Amino acid sequence: MKAAFLTENPKNTILNYGLYCNSCHFRYNKYEINSFCMQCEKSPIEARFDLNKSISKDIIDQSERSMWRYAKLLPILDIKNRITLGEGWTPILPMFRLANCLGISSLLIKDESFNPTGSFKARGLSMAVSKAKELGIRSCIVPTAGNAGGALSAYCAKAGIESIVVMPRHTPDAFKKECKAFGAEVILVDGLISDCAKLVAEIKKDRSCFDISTMKEPYRLEGKKTLGYEIAEQMNWDLPDVILYPAGGGTGLIGIWKAFKEMLNMGWITHIPTRMIAVQAENCKPLVDTFNELQLDASNYQGMPTIANGLAVPHPFAEKMMLAVLSQSKGTTLAVSEQEIIKSVKEIAAKEGILVAPEGAALLAGLKFLLNSKLVGADEKILLLNTGSCYKYLDSFEF
């Protein structure tokens, strides 16, 4: 698939960037359509900006109350291609009652349920669909556990681009109806997101559509990295000691860390104190097993469905990048049971008035384990990253 003729708009003032393979560092043409690196075992391609300490925080657009306040650090060459529904700039809320129950001094939650279509997938898909429009792509396809399909459908509708969503048949009906409402073609598969990805590969052989899968193109990561910029800015550039993140495909985990490193390179922060903790479901914990050296990698991992649909990713494409974040941040990873996830959804709702997605609820169970194991201290600043709203999942629960 070739891109439409594309040049940089001289009126734009985004910082210069290039596209590079994360593993072999092969450079790709940013004016062309790119997916992942074929030079070295199909590794992800990422945008790398030319950053230095002369770049001031003044480049943040304070008049913009969305993730696009960081537009000069995002790889859209012409503002006319920006496809936005107001994503980002979600609140960080204190969780006083839960903190008191757990005996800790500081517990915060970054609540991504405020995003369009109710999840943090809006960030990555806003950025990726914007770039798809800029590159002249007319049809996008995605394998999804649910939320990414809804976000892709919405942003493609806004952009006038065809969307094809391939999701597990057992996905709650709310996700299927959401995609159809936005005009997407919805294809159901018996199995997990890995099985959906196999069908996507087959569909692409016969249809001209761009695969916008997690980390299989360079731009969803750029949308997700705005999480890291917001966390820093909203916390007055004083980063948390610990961030707990529900890890499926891991784009947000990688994106937050990418943002922290970019800010360090620009001198916006002086150090990165944060330990990144990746939480998975016991039903599907490939990263946990690889981290604990129970397997060489996740390529042959066999996962099962989980009530936290977004965590059912048995073969994460960016596994090496996730492991690198855990290593660089001196973090760790752990898995929690279905019963713990369900209990945590109800506990957070009853104590804090927030209906977090099951993926986000898994973090509370993970935090309890970390506190009991003395891996996290009671006096540390702790941030939970809730990826979305529980409202689409309510038929899966009894209250």
The DSSP 8-state label assigned to residue 165 in this structure reads: E
Distance CA 383, CA 381 (A): 7
Distance CA 364, CA 336 (A): 10
Q: What pLDDT is attached to residue 331?
A: 98
pLDDT tens digits in sequence order for the chain, 399 residues long: 445 445 555 446 789 999 999 999 999 999 999 999 989 878 999 999 999 999 999 999 999 999 999 999 999 999 999 999 999 999 999 999 999 999 999 999 999 999 999 999 999 999 999 999 999 999 999 999 999 999 999 999 999 999 999 999 999 999 999 999 999 999 999 999 999 999 999 999 999 999 999 999 999 999 999 999 999 999 999 999 999 999 999 999 999 999 999 999 999 999 999 999 999 999 999 999 999 999 999 999 999 999 999 999 999 999 999 999 999 999 999 999 999 999 999 999 999 999 999 999 999 999 999 999 999 999 999 999 999 999 999 988 887
Q: What pLDDT is attached to residue 5?
A: 45
Count of residues in the chain: 399
Identity of the residue numbered 225: K
Distance CA 289, CA 53 (A): 39
Tokens coding 349: 């709702």
φ, ψ of residue 364 in degrees (nearest 5)? -65, -45
The DSSP 8-state label assigned to residue 398 in this structure reads: -
Report the DSSP beta bridge partners of residue 139. Answer: 162
Distance CA 382, CA 385 (A): 10
Q: What pLDDT is attached to residue 335?
A: 98
Q: What pLDDT is attached to residue 6?
A: 53
**pTM for the whole thing?**
0.95
Residues 6+ positions from 10 with CB-CB distance below 8 Å: none
* Contact status, residue 84 vs residue 126, Cβ threshold 8 Å: yes
User: Which domains are seen in the chain, by residue range?
Assistant: 83-399 (3.40.50.1100)
* Contact status, residue 320 vs residue 254, Cβ threshold 8 Å: no
- The H or E element spanning position 106 is strand 106-111
The DSSP 8-state label assigned to residue 250 in this structure reads: -
Report the DSSP beta bridge partners of residue 210. Answer: 140
Strands, DSSP E only, in 13-124?
Answer: 17-21, 27-28, 45-49, 92-94, 106-111
Distance CA 343, CA 111 (A): 19
Cα 46 to Cα 23, 220, 306: the distances in Å are 10, 10, 30
